[in-house]
């Protein structure tokens, strides 16, 4: 899908980063925003577990991105212990925008102003095609578990 003149700037930045990193998946602009894994799965005709939620957390004022299956909830205490931080808190909208340049519901795994430490839910590997946000709540892209790990440099960690 090619860029349009009215494309949101965060999608344009995602598109450029995706191409620079050698991403192979399709970028899809949906007719409506999909702020949850269930809504995204319905729009794409897949199961929620194939949606890679990009959840930004605040670890003592440092960003941490967790890419988790839409079928899971992140146990912040367990993940904090596994990645060696004192505490993970759900990030406030301003913190998310500052560190990703994107809004909650549209945070992509890549395309941020600066690198963000990223962790990947191993359950996503069960799906041959994984979908993730592409910088805006109505933009998504297809990928695979292996490509997502490569694009993000993520460390695989159990999130539950």
User: pLDDT tens digits for 97-152?
Assistant: 999 999 998 999 999 999 999 999 999 999 999 999 999 999 999 999 999 999 99
Q: Reply yes or no on whether the pLDDT at 5 is more than 70.
A: no
Helix (H) / strand (E) containing 98: helix 93-100
pTM (2 d.p.): 0.92
Greater confidence, 61 or 35?
61
* CA distance linking residue 108 with residue 14, whole number of Å: 8
Select from 143, 133, 150, 147 the least CA-distant residue to 14: 133
* CA distance linking residue 95 with residue 58, whole number of Å: 8
* CA distance linking residue 97 with residue 47, whole number of Å: 28
Cβ distance 90 to 143 under 8 Å? no
Percent above pLDDT 70 for the chain: 97
User: pLDDT tens digits for 25-48?
Assistant: 999 998 888 878 888 899 999 999
Per-residue pLDDT at 103: 93
> Could you give the domains of the chain?
9-156 (3.90.960.10)
Distance of CA 134 to the CA centre of its chain: 8
DSSP string, 22-76: T--SPEEE-SS---SHHHHHHHHTS-GGGEEEEEEEEETTEEEEEEEETT----H
Cβ distance 25 to 104 under 8 Å? no
Per-residue pLDDT at 38: 87
Helix (H) / strand (E) containing 130: strand 130-133
pLDDT band at 1 (very low <50, low <70, confident <90, very high): very low
């Amino acid at each position: 899908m090619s860029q349009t003149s009215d494309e949101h700037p965060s999608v344009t930045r995602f598109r450029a980063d995706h191409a620079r990193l050698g991403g192979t998946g399709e970028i899809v602009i949906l007719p409506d925003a999909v702020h949850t894994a269930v809504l995204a799965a319905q729009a794409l005709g897949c199961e929620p577990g194939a949606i890679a939620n990009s959840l930004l957390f605040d670890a003592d004022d440092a960003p941490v991105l967790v890419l988790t299956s839409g079928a899971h909830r992140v146990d912040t205490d367990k993940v904090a212990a596994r990645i060696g931080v004192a505490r993970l808190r759900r990030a406030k909208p301003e913190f998310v925008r500052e560190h990703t340049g994107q809004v909650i519901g549209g945070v992509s795994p890549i395309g941020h102003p600066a690198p963000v430490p990223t962790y990947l839910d191993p359950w996503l590997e069960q799906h041959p095609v994984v979908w993730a946000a592409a910088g805006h709540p109505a933009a998504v892209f297809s990928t695979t578990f292996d490509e997502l790990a490569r694009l993000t440099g993520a460390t695989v960690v159990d999130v539950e």
